[in-house]
A and B are shown apart, each in its own frame.
Chain A
Amino acid sequence: MKLQDMISPLELKALTHVEDKEVEGIFISDMLSDVMSSAKAGDLWLTVQTHKNIVSAANLVDMAAIVVTHGKSVPKETVDLADRFHVAILSCDGSNFELSAKLHAIGFRPR
C-alpha cells in the first residue's frame, strides 16, 4: 500500500514532506539497536522516540516512514533533519496498539 493512501484512513498527520513510497511491512520498537538489527526496507516504523537519530536509523535501512505514536511532540530539529534526508515523519494521537489494530484492519500482516 502507498504511504500517501494510508494517511487518511489511519488518521495520521504528516510532519514532513511525504513521498509516494510503498509500505511493505510494520516495525514496532523504541530502540535504534532494534532498527539496525531487524527492521526491513519499506517498513513503517511505529515508535514513541523523537530524538533526531531516528532519522539516521530509518534512512540507513530505507524505511517507508516513521510514525510517532501517542501524540508525542516531535522536536523541530528532528523534523528538519527528516525533511533534508527525505525521511517521512507522521504522527498519530493513538497508541501503538490502536494504530496496529487499524493497520491490521486495512490488511497488514506480519511478514
Chain B
Amino acid sequence: MNATTCRHQWDMIDTTYGFLVTEKCFHCGMISTEFSLDPTPPLEEYREGDHTWNLVESAQTIRYNLNCRSCGLRVDLKGLLGLMLCTGCDPVCEVDVLRRRFEPERRWVYVAFGFLPEEKHVQLTDEKIAALEEYINQRRRSRTSSIKIVPGRMVSKIQNCYGEVIKDTDMLSLTPPNS
C-alpha cells in the first residue's frame, strides 16, 4: 500500500533499553543529554572542547522506532529523549494553554522532548510527533480519552517546568514491605 494513502497501523519496533544520561557544563551552564547503552556513566568530570561536563543524572529508559504493519513505513524516533505529562505549572506556557483546553474532553497533553543541545542532535519533526501520537492512541484503544503530543519547543521556560519525563529515576520506596 502507498504510504501516503495508508491508514497507518503502528507497532513499536527496535525497542532498546538503555540510559538517559544528563550532563552539565558548570562553566557555561549548558545541559547535554544522550542515550547510552553503558550502565556506568562517566562519574569524573571531563573536558570536551570548551566544556567541562559533569554528570547530573543517569536514568533507565527505552528507545524505539515505529513501523506501519500495513504499508511498511518506518518512523525513526532516535531523536526522542522521552515523554512528559503536562500537569500545568505556567499559565502562559503554550503547553499549559493546550492542557487547559483539552482537559475537559480528557485529552491529555504529553510533551515529546528531543536531546540537548538542540543544535547537536536531530530534533523530532512534526510528522514524527504525529506518528507517535497516532501510535499511542492506537495502543490505548480508548473511546473516552486520548493523548495529544506536542514538541518540547512549545514549553516556554523548561527550567521552570514542574513536569517529569517518564524514566526510571527516583523510583524509590521508603517503606518496608508488609509481607
Chain A contact residues, CB within 8 Å of chain B:
30-33, 36-37, 40-42, 48-53, 55-57, 59-62, 70-73, 81, 84-86, 93-95, 98
The reply to whether A73 and B178 form a contact with Cβ atoms under 8 Å apart is no
The reply to whether B62 and A37 form a contact with Cβ atoms under 8 Å apart is yes
Specify which chain B residues have a CB less than 8 angstroms from the CB of A61 in the assembled complex. 139-140
Specify which chain A residues have a CB less than 8 angstroms from the CB of B177 in the assembled complex. 48, 70-72, 95
Q: Residue B31 at the A interface, CB < 8 A?
A: no
- Please report the C-alpha to C-alpha distance between residue A93 and residue B62 in the assembled complex, in whole angstroms: 31
Q: Residue B36 at the A interface, CB < 8 A?
A: no
The reply to whether A60 and B171 form a contact with Cβ atoms under 8 Å apart is no
The reply to whether B171 and A49 form a contact with Cβ atoms under 8 Å apart is yes
B142's partner among A36, A41, A94 (CB-CB below 8 A) is: A41
Q: Looking across the interface, which residue of chain B has its beta carbon closest to that of A62?
A: B140
Q: Residue B25 at the A interface, CB < 8 A?
A: no
Within residues 127 to 157 of chain B, which ones have a CB less than 8 A from any CB in chain A?
136, 139-142, 145, 147
- 15 A-B Cβ contacts within 8 A? A31-B60, A32-B166, A33-B61, A37-B12, A37-B62, A41-B140, A50-B173, A56-B110, A59-B108, A60-B110, A60-B147, A61-B140, A62-B140, A72-B175, A85-B85
The reply to whether A33 and B106 form a contact with Cβ atoms under 8 Å apart is no
Summed over the interface, the residue pairs from A and B with CB atoms below 8 Å come to a total of: 89
The reply to whether A36 and B140 form a contact with Cβ atoms under 8 Å apart is no
The reply to whether A55 and B179 form a contact with Cβ atoms under 8 Å apart is no
- Please report the C-alpha to C-alpha distance between residue A81 and residue B172 in the assembled complex, in whole angstroms: 18
Specify which chain A residues have a CB less than 8 angstroms from the CB of B106 in the assembled complex. 86
The reply to whether A32 and B167 form a contact with Cβ atoms under 8 Å apart is yes
- Please report the C-alpha to C-alpha distance between residue A53 and residue B172 in the assembled complex, in whole angstroms: 12
6 A-B pairs with the lowest CB-CB distances in the bound complex, closest first: A71-B178, A70-B177, A62-B140, A56-B85, A62-B142, A33-B62
Chain B contact residues, CB within 8 Å of chain A:
12, 15, 17, 60-62, 64, 83-85, 87, 106, 108, 110, 136, 139-142, 145, 147, 164, 166-168, 170-173, 175, 177-179
The reply to whether A52 and B62 form a contact with Cβ atoms under 8 Å apart is no
A30, A36, A40, A85, most chain B CB atoms within 10 A: A36
Q: Looking across the interface, which residue of chain B has its beta carbon closest to that of A59?
A: B108
- Please report the C-alpha to C-alpha distance between residue A5 and residue B126 in the assembled complex, in whole angstroms: 42
Specify which chain B residues have a CB less than 8 angstroms from the CB of A53 in the assembled complex. 164, 166-167, 170-171
- Please report the C-alpha to C-alpha distance between residue A38 and residue B92 in the assembled complex, in whole angstroms: 36
B87, B139, B145, B166, most chain A CB atoms within 10 A: B166
The reply to whether B87 and A81 form a contact with Cβ atoms under 8 Å apart is yes
